[in-house]
């Protein structure tokens, strides 16, 4: 059974290889500390779970869910209110808000909805993989914009050749950034919106980590920029802010025409999310936000434990101002290895699992990503195990 060519173009799914390496290490009696996937370990707050349980007992909520239903209308209103409170951005709940079954599907469907075969999508590299894989699945042409440590991992839009820009229909951005944990300020977004004017390029800004911020940094919305609604939509998710990764609750907001087309393609493929999840998400967005603060406090603690710990054992890593990731250059001693080889060595010798930089694109080579999805004590343990590897003869 031959798979379609569009699937053959996709890079191998990184976590399948890592799962194999983990299995082998476990068979050799090694304990695993898994910091590979950005899969939040903390539970969804009780008031959100309670609302789901209440609403799941109502038979009416078991039916197909449609965008015209009361539950989705209330959810759209809640999202608009949340955006206004958080960013001071006014949205029309009817036309400028679109609930998604997790933001990942929305990002992939945006490419499918707008790219024809010769159309180019501009994607900073490294990136969260669906930003480029969605383009390949849609049959579009991917143009990587390399982003570098020396530039704070921000793309230089002026470096893109004119012929490429002419054929470009889509640009993905995402700050705070996965995997590098880089952040952007409003000046950067102003600059990009100015650059995009008159170019007929849609900007999809993925703001999954807006709440996971430290050291007084505040993540801006691109929609705070005057004129941004002309070409921008922004993706958001309850996965990280409210520890609801398994629930599949995301949303897109911004330009109404873009959202209408995104809704159109989705209408041929899926239904709206399960109604009890919609009601529980309203509770998440409009209820007490102290759970978000708790989350941030915990992740800040984890960040400091891992950064201080690694620096102490001679691995000089940066201290990120956002996300629950740490993006670290492979230690000098192992710099001759590829990021995948280094990760394989780390798993085999220590049981600590991190993600290789190349899992996020070719410009991730030379780096690895730690996801801080274990408690501080476990992170300290991981540091001690890594210490042994760094002390071994290479």
- Binding region for ligand PLP (CB under 6 A): 38, 102-104, 128, 174, 178, 206, 208, 237, 239, 245, 250
Closest contact distance (angstroms) between CB of 257 and ligand PLP is 23
CA distance 277 to 52: 6
Structure tokens at 43: 């539970």
User: In the complex with ligand PLP, which residue's Cβ is closer, 93 or 129?
Assistant: 129
Pairing of strands 367-371, 355-356: antiparallel
Closest contact distance (angstroms) between CB of 240 and ligand PLP is 7
Closest contact distance (angstroms) between CB of 138 and ligand PLP is 17
User: In the complex with ligand PLP, which residue's Cβ is closer, 237 or 278?
Assistant: 237
Closest contact distance (angstroms) between CB of 107 and ligand PLP is 7
User: In the complex with ligand PLP, which residue's Cβ is closer, 102 or 124?
Assistant: 102
CA distance 314 to 214: 24
Closest contact distance (angstroms) between CB of 236 and ligand PLP is 8
Surface-to-core class of residue 152, CB atoms within 10 Å of its CB (0-12 exposed, 13-18 middle, 19+ buried): middle
In three-state secondary structure terms, 368 is strand
Contacts of 330 (CB under 8 A, 6+ apart): 337, 339, 342, 366, 367, 368
User: In the complex with ligand PLP, which residue's Cβ is closer, 251 or 342?
Assistant: 251
User: In the complex with ligand PLP, which residue's Cβ is closer, 315 or 327?
Assistant: 327
Asked whether 272 and 278 are in contact (CB, 8 A), the reply is yes
Structure tokens at 8: 């053959």
User: In the complex with ligand PLP, which residue's Cβ is closer, 36 or 250?
Assistant: 250
CA 1 to chain centroid: 33
In three-state secondary structure terms, 370 is strand
Closest contact distance (angstroms) between CB of 354 and ligand PLP is 15
Closest contact distance (angstroms) between CB of 243 and ligand PLP is 11
Closest contact distance (angstroms) between CB of 176 and ligand PLP is 8
User: In the complex with ligand PLP, which residue's Cβ is closer, 220 or 309?
Assistant: 220
The string of DSSP letters for 185-196 reads: -HHHHHHHHHHH
User: In the complex with ligand PLP, which residue's Cβ is closer, 114 or 360?
Assistant: 360
In three-state secondary structure terms, 259 is helix
User: In the complex with ligand PLP, which residue's Cβ is closer, 104 or 109?
Assistant: 104
User: In the complex with ligand PLP, which residue's Cβ is closer, 275 or 369?
Assistant: 369
Closest contact distance (angstroms) between CB of 128 and ligand PLP is 4
3-state secondary structure 26-95: HHCCCCCEECCCCCCCCCCCHHHHHHHHHHHCCHHHHCCCCCCCHHHHHHHHHHHHHHHHHHCCCCCCCC
Asked whether 91 and 83 are in contact (CB, 8 A), the reply is yes
Structure tokens at 376: 């501080």
Closest alpha carbon to 285 in 90, 47, 103, 42: 47
Closest contact distance (angstroms) between CB of 367 and ligand PLP is 16
| CA-to-CA dists, residue 348 to 22, 77, 354, angstroms | 8, 50, 12
């Amino acid at each position: 059974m031959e798979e379609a060519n569009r699937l053959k173009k996709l890079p191998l799914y990184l976590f399948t290889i890592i799962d194999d390496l983990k299995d082998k290490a476990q068979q050799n009696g090694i304990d695993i500390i898994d910091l590979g996937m950005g899969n939040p370990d903390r539970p969804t707050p009780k008031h959100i779970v309670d609302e789901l349980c209440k609403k799941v007992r109502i038979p009416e909520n078991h039916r197909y869910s449609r965008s015209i239903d009361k539950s989705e209308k209330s959810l759209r209103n809640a999202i608009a209110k949340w955006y206004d409170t958080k960013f001071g951005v006014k949205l029309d709940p009817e036309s400028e808000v679109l609930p998604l079954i997790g933001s990942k599907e929305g990002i992939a469907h945006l490419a499918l909805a707008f790219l024809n075969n010769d159309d180019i999508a501009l994607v900073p590299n490294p990136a969260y993989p669906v930003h480029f894989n969605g383009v390949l699945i849609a049959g579009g042409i991917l143009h990587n914009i390399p982003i570098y440590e020396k530039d704070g991992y921000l793309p230089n839009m002026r470096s893109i050749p004119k012929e490429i820009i002419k054929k470009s229909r889509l640009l993905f951005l995402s700050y705070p950034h996965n995997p590098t944990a880089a952040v952007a300020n409003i000046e950067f977004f102003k600059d990009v919106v100015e650059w995009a004017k008159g170019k007929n390029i849609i900007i999809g800004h993925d703001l999954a980590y807006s709440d996971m911020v430290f050291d007084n940094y505040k993540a801006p919305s691109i929609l705070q920029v005057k004129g941004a609604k002309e070409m921008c939509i922004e993706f958001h998710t309850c996965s990280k802010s409210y520890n609801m990764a398994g629930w599949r609750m995301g949303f897109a907001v911004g330009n109404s025409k873009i959202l209408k087309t995104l809704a159109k393609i989705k209408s041929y493929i899926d239904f709206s999310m399960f109604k009890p999840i919609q009601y529980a998400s309203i509770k998440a967005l409009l209820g007490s936000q102290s759970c978000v603060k708790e989350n941030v406090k915990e992740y800040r603690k984890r960040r400091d434990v891992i950064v201080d710990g690694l620096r102490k054992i001679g691995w000089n890593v940066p201290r990120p101002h956002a996300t629950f990731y740490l993006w670290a250059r492979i230690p000098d001693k192992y710099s001759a290895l590829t990021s995948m080889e280094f990760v394989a060595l780390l798993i085999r010798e220590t049981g600590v699992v991190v993600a290789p930089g190349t899992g996020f694109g070719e410009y991730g080579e030379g780096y690895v990503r730690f996801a801080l999805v274990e408690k501080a004590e476990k992170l300290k343990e991981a540091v001690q195990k890594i210490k042994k590897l760094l002390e071994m003869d290479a």
